Chains A and B, each alone.
Chain A
């Protein structure tokens, strides 16, 4: 059961992070394609967004592997 719990925890965390990252990257790519002069600003914002999105799944992975 521990392995099942770990799998569900990691899977759901990765799913959420994947969706979040996809939305951020899509927005950035659209923005850069339309206005290449804003690349620096958009990259910085993308970096911040991805940092916030990816923090949670990494914690989830650590906790899941310890539980397992």
Chain B
């Protein structure tokens, strides 16, 4: 070997100038670069991101490719993008084994399209290559079954655990699977708590990168129980642009702040409407309230989803927009928001790693 032959160090040196814009560090010191193989003038390596839904995946790939191609003597570059989803677990308490991130989708008031966002968020993450599950924790108005196009009763698996149903590659559990669709659920708080416990700990979730929880609107039993039973990685607040909705969104946000569930950000749904006839953008409920509220409260604005009749018909037919029309503006907006959510979780995971360990990894048994 002569000295001007390519070395791994030379490759790592140029890759060390590639920054991850979310984690604000170079991808070499973040440990993203794996399996560097140099064969004559041919260089191949893997870039292992912290989430498959990384919003800057293509941009990073291109930058790695260009920079390594620029090293003298390099004739061919092969970059493979992979991902190992990190665990964001702010409470450090034992949560669900195998589940890396539990993300709640909440809203202060009903009718803002929370379930639609939860479903499409789950499917966007799934489409990026992540393993995803979905809990319909809207005990009183479960809508997942219809919107997701899954029906039936879950079966019991080993150790008396409930096996979730699967729709579009996502594992789902819903009150709708356990109750008659026409009969209302009339329950007091303790039963809601019991059900939330069942939907988390008693379901065979397996290995998941993201478990999305669709919460009922408001600040009640289900929200509180969910925040108590598991250590949630974060919550996204869905709102529409009107002031009324925003007031409630603020309340929801404050509740999760008190429960020390990190606020990943605010999503503005029904943000605008693109007329199918004239392609003109109409801001029916005004626009930008979500962004303003996010700025006011110092949380991230995750993006906006347009009002699109296809979202509604897709939902009613069990064909969510992300699956049904992946190229539509609403689906693209959902993917973008999902990328931001995943990026925020990666940032939280990065911030907590190397920091404090679990507060109480196991219950304390008092010794007398």
Chains A and B are bound partners: no
